[in-house]
Amino acid sequence: MKQKIKKIAVLTSGGDAPGMNAAIRAVVRTACALGIEVYGIRGGFRGLTNGDFYTEKNKLVEKTLEKYLEKYHFVAPPIYETETMQTASVSQIIGKGGTILLTSRFEEFTNANVRAIAIENLRKEGIEGLVVIGGNGSYQGAHLIAQEAPDIQVIGIPATIDNDIAWTTETIGFDTASNTLSKHCDNIRSTAKSHQRIFVVGAMGRKAGDLALRAGRASGAEAILLPEFPCSDEQLIKMLKTKMSDERTYALVVVAEGVGTPDEIAEKLKKAGYEVKTSDIGHAQRGGVPTNGDRILADSMGYHAVKFLEDGLTDKAVSFDGKIYTAVDFEKIFTEPDVVKHRILAGNYRQYQKITHGEVIVPTDL
């Protein structure tokens, strides 16, 4: 029988997502309730490699990684005395955006030698379990740790505004981001109508169009451009001509980042004779106060992540199918292709268009 886990750590990695703090809070509070020591790691995998553990004190420890700096080209931040996180450490953060543990993108983590340093830092602190909160890239790093350090259990929590992780209906941050973007679209629509012009609004999502689709549907966009379903210039112009008439001389087009920039789409429409303006709120989609939906999702996922570690599970991520929470193998998640495309097809959007007379247009023949 496996001995009860005594020490775990938690980190946030990759792009920030509203609700990450709520997930951190749930991990810490659940661990404390179960008598498990929990440590925070600042700055994601970069911080883990640098040994930058969360502390509320300012006691600088004489500890550096100078011999690795020149070879691996990353700078070690000041390293503070390690201390456990307590419930007071996460007080009143459930409704705050961002992440108190900070985050980063750390491409050097693909180097096995760099990961070896990170794993050794966990072992030095006696860490037996690690919770990684982030998206697909963060999951890759978590999976590698689980594979290369079988003595350390690893569980992932899905947090990305792109909502592009398989085997979970929704990721932490998606609801907030889609609400932020749809509110922006609502505001843009009033000025588009007043000036009788087309507005092209940008949505984040280099490889996934779920954010553009959710916000576009919620704001009644006349066209939504998704990377999963390429649309020709001719198709887009034909759609807009169908939608626009003497009675409606304005339109809202939402374009996912993976399709192109709002300016690029606008130039194509201008060549067709339309008056077009653009709007892109960019990283504001990641910021702000998380919605109740994201807070509850994060709270539940943080709880289950710790429980899965207590149950002895590893190399898995928390998954929610709309009813129950389960642990799914990282490898199973990685091998699920075109996650957003499959969701769209399953949603029967062609039938949706017929019912709503095409107010929301997914530019493809589904």
On average, the pLDDT of the chain sits at: 86
Please check the confidence at residue 273 and state whether its pLDDT lies above 70: yes
pLDDT, tens digit, 9 for 90 and up, residues 182-200: 999 999 998 888 888 899 9
364 inside domain: no
The DSSP 8-state label assigned to residue 2 in this structure reads P
Asked if 163 and 232 sit in the same domain, the reply is: no
Does residue 163 or residue 242 have the better pLDDT?
163
Does residue 336 or residue 145 have the better pLDDT?
145
- Domain coverage including residue 79: 7-172+290-335
Asked if 168 and 181 sit in the same domain, the reply is: no
Which of the following is catalytic: 16, 52, 162, 164? Answer: 162
> Mean per-residue pLDDT for 310-319?
98
| SS3 (DSSP) at 99 | coil
Does residue 78 or residue 110 have the better pLDDT?
110
> Mean per-residue pLDDT for 33-39?
97
pLDDT at 359: 40
The answer to whether 128 and 38 have CB atoms below 8 angstroms apart is no
Asked if 198 and 93 sit in the same domain, the reply is: no
CATH number of the domain residue 183 falls in: 3.40.50.460
With bands split at pLDDT 50, 70 and 90, how would you rate the model's confidence at 355? very low
Output the DSSP codes for 298-346: HHHHHHHHHHHHHTT--SEEEEE-SS-EEEEEHHHHHT---HHHHHHHH
pLDDT at 363: 43
**What is the spatial distance between Cα 168 and Cα 27, in angstroms, rounded to a whole number?**
19
Exposure string for 124-158, b = 16+ CB within 10 A, e = fewer:
ebebbbbbbbbbbbbbbbbbbbbeebeebbbbbbb
Please check the confidence at residue 158 and state whether its pLDDT lies above 50: yes
Asked if 124 and 54 sit in the same domain, the reply is: yes
62 inside domain: yes
Query: Helices marked H in the chain — which ranges?
Result: 20-33, 44-50, 66-72, 112-124, 136-148, 174-195, 210-218, 233-243, 262-271, 292-310, 330-334, 339-346, 349-355
8: enclosing H helix or E strand: strand 7-12
Asked if 41 and 83 sit in the same domain, the reply is: yes
Please check the confidence at residue 277 and state whether its pLDDT lies above 70: yes
Residue 117: name the closest of 27, 204, 51, 19 by CA: 51
pLDDT at 62: 38
> Mean per-residue pLDDT for 129-155?
97
In the chain, how many domains are there?
Answer: 2
Please check the confidence at residue 342 and state whether its pLDDT lies above 90: no
Residue in the structure block whose two tokens are 């502390």 = 55
| HSE-up of residue 352 (Cα within 13 Å, Cβ side) | 15
Instruction: Indicate if 162 belongs to the active site.
Output: yes
pLDDT, tens digit, 9 for 90 and up, residues 121-136: 999 999 999 999 999 9
With bands split at pLDDT 50, 70 and 90, how would you rate the model's confidence at 336? confident
Asked if 184 and 150 sit in the same domain, the reply is: no
